[in-house]
Amino acid sequence: MEVRNIKILGVEFRIGELFRASRSFYAWIFILLGLIAVGLFAWSVQLRYGLVVTGTRNVVPWGLYVMNFIFFVGLAAGGLIIVSSVELFGVKKLAPLLKVGVIEAGTCVFLAMLFIIVDMGHPERAYWFILSPNPPSVLTYDFYILGIYLTLCIIDAYALFSGRTKWMFPLSIVSLPAAIGIHSITAWVFGTIKSRPAWHSPIMAPIFISSAITSALGLMILITLLLPKVTKLRFDREIILYLRRILTVAVPIDVFFLFNELLIATLPTSAMPEQYTAFLFILVERYAPVFWAETLIAAVIPMIIFLHPRTRNSIPAIAIASFMVVVGIFMKRVYIIIVGMSYSPLGELVYYAPTVIEIAVMAGWIALGMLIFTLAIKILPMEAEAESH
């Protein structure tokens, strides 16, 4: 039985590849499906018993799901920022990453949506976003920009995979603002809350975007290193070194923005009591390990690796540093939520810790994202345009 490739609207789907794959590929798919099943089961438990099965309560109403949401919005935003910079700023070196970048961005924004769906008490009522949107609420715009962004990713992918390279420039003109927009709007959801002084800050959107670019670059480096090991794709060593160079700039910018926030929140002449208490909680109290570990693994160690002459050009070292950056930015999302939520506006302090259900749902959704990514890489023609010319 030979399964033929199918072509829909000029995009070739190499379905046959699925039937010719190695045993380890099927094993991988199987593991992912198992994790997705676990996640779906955990979600069904949550739907039956309510959000009480999560670690969130009235004092800390947002938890692991929202942390994942902003993390994946960041990865998605960073993905299209990298992609559109190829066309807009002529970074031709990164052109081989176009297709991977678009798939990564699309998958991540889809995951972000899934995390919001499980966070809602009534996801089946989401149609009210369309029937009665509330203009003063930033969350309304977040819903729309997520939808627009996913659509843009799909159009971008269609243009790339059907060989319509002429579309890429106009698409990039739209994609870049959308990528900045999706993450700014998500940051403003938190930055515009005057009742949570630790969040109420104009630096929120800049921090979110710098973290987004940092984590997305780290993930792109990991993907570029991993894909040649499991597929026939090959990437130039130069690409990784180039991504590493951008990361060497992105990490200090991210640290600088955060330092601004910390200075305003803690310096005696500027510290407002509520903000100060909240920041002490992540700087020296219960969540201090998360904060300082993040500083170490998302900033200090990667910067040493990127700057030291003996490690800066070593691929394994860059791989380790990139992995640290991605994990570190996730931890940053964790304490950014914690800092605004742990103290209620009436001064009640609650320690948030995720439950098994939350972690299972998270594992399931991330496995689903990996499944989508794996299948897309498998069946879509990933060869870079540059090679076919």
Chosen residue from 4, 8, 23, 90 binding other proteins by CB under 8 A: 23
Question: Using an 8 Å Cβ cutoff, are 109 and 83 in contact?
Answer: no
Binding mask 105-124 for other proteins (x = CB under 8 A): -----------x--xxxxxx
Min dist CB 36 to other proteins, Å, is: 7
Min dist CB 194 to other proteins, Å, is: 6
Min dist CB 321 to other proteins, Å, is: 35
Name the phi and psi angles at 337, rounded to 5: -70, -45
Q: Which is nearer to other proteins, 348 or 383 (CB)?
A: 348
CB count within 10 Å of CB 363 equals: 15
Q: Does 228 bind other proteins (CB under 8 A)?
A: no
Size of the site for other proteins (CB under 8 A): 63
Min dist CB 121 to other proteins, Å, is: 2
Best CA proximity match to 98, nearest among 346, 343, 293, 381: 381
Per CB under 8 A, which of residues 130..159 are in contact with other proteins? Answer: 131-134, 136-137, 139-140, 142-143
Q: Which is nearer to other proteins, 195 or 270 (CB)?
A: 195
DSSP secondary structure string, 227-270? Answer: HHHHSS----HHHHHHHHHHHHHHHHHHHHHHHHHHHHHHSTTT
Per CB under 8 A, which of residues 64..93 are in contact with other proteins? Answer: none
Question: Using an 8 Å Cβ cutoff, are 149 and 109 in contact?
Answer: yes
Binding mask 184-203 for other proteins (x = CB under 8 A): -----x---xxxx-------
SS3 for 359-387 is HHHHHHHHHHHHHHHHHHHHHCCCCCHHH
Binding mask 317-346 for other proteins (x = CB under 8 A): -----------------------xx-xxxx
CA gap 223, 103 in Å, rounded: 11
Min dist CB 380 to other proteins, Å, is: 20
Chosen residue from 11, 29, 320, 384 binding other proteins by CB under 8 A: 29
Question: Using an 8 Å Cβ cutoff, are 156 and 102 in contact?
Answer: yes
Question: Using an 8 Å Cβ cutoff, are 213 and 83 in contact?
Answer: no
Min dist CB 29 to other proteins, Å, is: 7
CA gap 27, 22 in Å, rounded: 9
Binding mask 38-67 for other proteins (x = CB under 8 A): --xx-xx--xxxxxx---xxxx-xx-----
- In the three-class reduction of DSSP (H, G, I as helix; E, B as strand; rest coil), residue 72 is classed as helix
Q: Which is nearer to other proteins, 23 or 166 (CB)?
A: 23
Chosen residue from 7, 10, 15, 26 binding other proteins by CB under 8 A: 26
- In the three-class reduction of DSSP (H, G, I as helix; E, B as strand; rest coil), residue 131 is classed as helix
Best CA proximity match to 379, nearest among 23, 1, 25: 25
H/E element, 6: strand 6-8
Structure token digits, residue 330: 């996730």
Min dist CB 124 to other proteins, Å, is: 5
Residues in CB range of 327: below 8 A, 6 or more apart = 297, 298
H/E element, 128: helix 128-131
User: Which residues here bind other proteins, judged by CB under 8 A?
Assistant: 1, 19, 23, 26, 29-30, 33-34, 36-37, 40-41, 43-44, 47-52, 56-59, 61-62, 116, 119-126, 128-129, 131-134, 136-137, 139-140, 142-143, 189, 193-196, 273-274, 277, 340-341, 343-348
